[in-house]
């Protein structure tokens, strides 16, 4: 980077998908990301997979954090990944899942394109560091 260039902040979308109405964790991570210097957009509650994809593409985010506690992760997350792929955005978006995902489901989600899954009690510092180390270069 030359002296005249400034590094762009990492752009993140924190999304609540499906009927899950508990968003405390999403607010906590959005605030922690903002405090870490990331640009953060929060989707609000009850978003469809297509709404999440549209927001990620329109906001040109580097990171998509999907917060899900409803147990519908095996249905909703793949729909989001497929949508990102349709827009050629999957390869340059770091996709994270936060919430309750049983161990037996984690490998499938990661094989489909989820970069990391953070469960209850995950360290904010570890999550922020993971994003800094793995967010796509702009």
- Higher-pLDDT residue of 123, 6: 123
Where do the structural domains in the chain lie, given as residue ranges?
11-123
Closest CA to 14 of 61, 82, 71: 61
Fold (CATH) for 11-123: Rossmann fold (3.40.50)
Q: How confident is the model at residue 5 (pLDDT cuts 50, 70, 90)?
A: low
pLDDT value of residue 6: 63
How far is Cα 58 from Cα 109, in angstroms, rounded to an integer? 24
Tens-place pLDDT, residues 8-61:
899 999 999 988 888 888 999 999 999 999 999 999 999 999 999 999 999 999
pTM: 0.93
Closest CA to 56 of 41, 76, 75: 41
């Amino acid at each position: 980077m030359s002296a005249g260039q400034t590094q762009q902040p990492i752009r993140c979308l924190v999304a609540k998908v499906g009927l899950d109405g508990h968003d405390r964790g999403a607010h906590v991570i959005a605030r922690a990301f903002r405090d870490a210097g990331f640009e953060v957009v929060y989707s609000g509650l009850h978003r469809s997979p297509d709404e999440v994809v549209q927001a990620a593409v329109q906001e040109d985010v580097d990171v998509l954090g999907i917060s899900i506690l409803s147990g519908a992760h095996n249905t909703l997350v793949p729909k989001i990944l497929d949508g990102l792929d349709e827009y050629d955005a999957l390869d340059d978006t770091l996709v994270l899942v936060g919430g309750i995902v049983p161990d037996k489901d984690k490998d499938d989600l990661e094989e489909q394109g989820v970069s990391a899954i953070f469960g209850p009690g995950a360290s904010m510092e570890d999550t922020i560091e993971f994003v800094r180390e793995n967010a796509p270069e702009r």
